[in-house]
Amino acid sequence: MEITQQLLNDVLELAKQAGEHSKVFYAKNLTVQTKSDNTPVTEADLFISQFLTQKLTSITPDIPVLSEENCHIDFNERKQWQAYWLIDPIDGTQQFISHTDQFSVMICLVQNNQPMLGVIHAPMLNRTYYAWREHGAFLIENGITKKLPKIQPHNRTQIKIAIGSSNPEKIRQSIKSPYQPEFIVYGSSSLKSGLVAEGIVDCYVRFGNTGEWDTAVADILLHEVDCKIFDLSFQPLTYNQRETLINPYFVMGNCKLDWQKIFQFNT
């Protein structure tokens, strides 16, 4: 499938529409259920998942959609896919429930097991990140679009680290001398990747389960600004190449820093 500017525009519009739906639910008292993996889900997650699946299918009828809320597709079937949409209707459901505003809608096109086009839309923050592999990464804020520049190296020993629910002490124990961490607690996984892409933090460390839908857009966004995602063995994440869709623990960080000199993980 050829990626075009029109397709990107369609995905941006879909993310915006999904964000407007999320605002309606955000103003309500929601019923929260617990999924089998012990994570929360609301009617907002389910509605937006169905909305995006239907809309994407109408735009690209021959491309399947894999959603966090509809991910029980046998590996023998999905490993045949040369292209598919990977969506997270609400990335940061707990943030959504807690009304921190730090949640997003995520849509990603994966081709040949590589994320190629993606959007992260944070409706309550009025911020949208998008990236197209080898075409750049961008941020739309208050209606103004700017291209994100390549991240630059630095020689500081103070490392700014975005975290969510990960244990900061465990992360601190993984950092080699003379480096010292400065932790910044922020919302959903996708928005923490945005902090890395903008150079606000040096890295985002996740010691906890996430799904491939949590990292796919970030993978493109970071690639386009000279950053990367790697697991605790310093290997890149994969997409639709394993039975499980659960990611290993990971770090998102500036490619210009030698992370093997900074971190030593007990894997």
Type of residue found at 139: L
What distance in Å separates the CA atoms of residue 188 and residue 101, rounded to the nearest whole number?
10
- pLDDT confidence bin for 34, thresholds 50/70/90: confident
Instruction: Examine the pLDDT at 267 and tell me if it is beyond 70.
Output: no
* Residue 88, marked binder: yes
Nearest to 234 by CA among 156, 174, 166, 154: 174
Q: Could you tell me the maximum CA-CA distance found in the chain, to the nearest angstrom?
A: 54
pLDDT of the residue at 40: 84
Instruction: Examine the pLDDT at 38 and tell me if it is beyond 80.
Output: no
The separation between CA 56 and the C-alpha centre of its own chain, rounded to angstroms, equals: 19
What is the token pair recorded at 14?
């879909």
User: Is 128 inside a domain boundary?
Assistant: yes
In tens, the pLDDT along 16-26 reads 999 999 999 99
The separation between CA 160 and the C-alpha centre of its own chain, rounded to angstroms, equals: 19
DSSP 8-state secondary structure symbol assigned to residue 103: -
Cβ(108)–Cβ(11) under 8 Å?
no
Q: Residues 190-212, buried b or exposed e (16+ Cβ, 10 A)?
A: bbbbbbbbbbebbbbbbbeebbb
* Residue 19, marked binder: no
Q: What is the CATH number of the domain that holds 173?
A: 3.40.190.80
Domain count, the chain: 2
In tens, the pLDDT along 71-122 reads 889 999 999 999 999 999 999 999 999 999 999 999 999 999 999 999 999 9
User: Is 121 inside a domain boundary?
Assistant: yes
In tens, the pLDDT along 59-79 reads 999 999 999 898 889 999 999
Q: What is the pTM of this model?
A: 0.95
Q: What is the CATH number of the domain that holds 123?
A: 3.30.540.10
* Residue 91, marked binder: yes
Neighbours of 43 (CB within 10 A): 13
User: Whole domain around residue 231: which residue ranges?
Assistant: 158-261
Residues 126 and 208 in one domain: no
User: Is 266 inside a domain boundary?
Assistant: no
pLDDT of the residue at 53: 97
